Amino acid sequence: MHPTISNMMEVVAKGDDTKIAGLLAENVRFLPPTYWKTWTGRAPVAAVLGHVGHVFSDFSYRRVMGDGNDWALEFQCKIGELDAVGVDLITLNDDGLIQLFEVTMRPYKSVGALREAINARVMTDARFLKFREALS
């Protein structure tokens, strides 16, 4: 397994955005499961993933598939009392950093709960005022 993937599996669930940032390319793109918009850039993507690590509980990876620069990591977790499963689709760049990070999840009810929980967290995170302006 690629060392970046191994490290990502350890740090994302812990919600430490400083450790997550070190795994991301400067112009990383993140496609969340909660809405059709792409986050771009190391700082905002690390911040979002840090919040996700605090919203998910009982998080674990069930299967890891991939080779070279393309990886799919199946996970399970809880969002409050709701169960969820999903897949992290990750593309690494030539430097071994995460260039593209797309997440798919189910069921719908759990994805809605994730969106609500993340929105509540980022509304109290001053960094997101700057990030939101950058996305506009």
Tell me the pLDDT of the chain (136 aa) as tens digits.
899 999 999 887 777 778 999 999 999 999 988 887 888 999 989 988 888 888 888 999 999 999 999 999 999 999 999 999 999 999 999 999 999 999 999 998 998 888 888 878 777 777 776 665 544 4
**Whole-model pTM over 0.75:** yes
* CATH label, 3-125, candidates 3.40.50.300, 3.40.710.10, 3.40.50.20, 3.10.450.50: 3.10.450.50
Distance CA 101, CA 110 (A): 20
- Strand 70-79 relative to strand 98-106: parallel, antiparallel, unpaired? unpaired
Do residues 30 and 45 make contact, with C-beta atoms less than 8 angstroms apart?
A: yes
- Strand 98-106 relative to strand 24-31: parallel, antiparallel, unpaired? parallel
Distance CA 39, CA 132 (A): 9
Distance CA 68, CA 1 (A): 9
Q: Which whole-number Å values give the CA distances from 60 to 4, 89, 133, in the listed order?
A: 17, 15, 33
Task: Tell me which H or E stretch contains 121.
Answer: helix 108-122
Please tell me the predicted confidence (pLDDT) of residue 61. Answer: 93
Q: Where are the domains of the chain?
A: 3-125
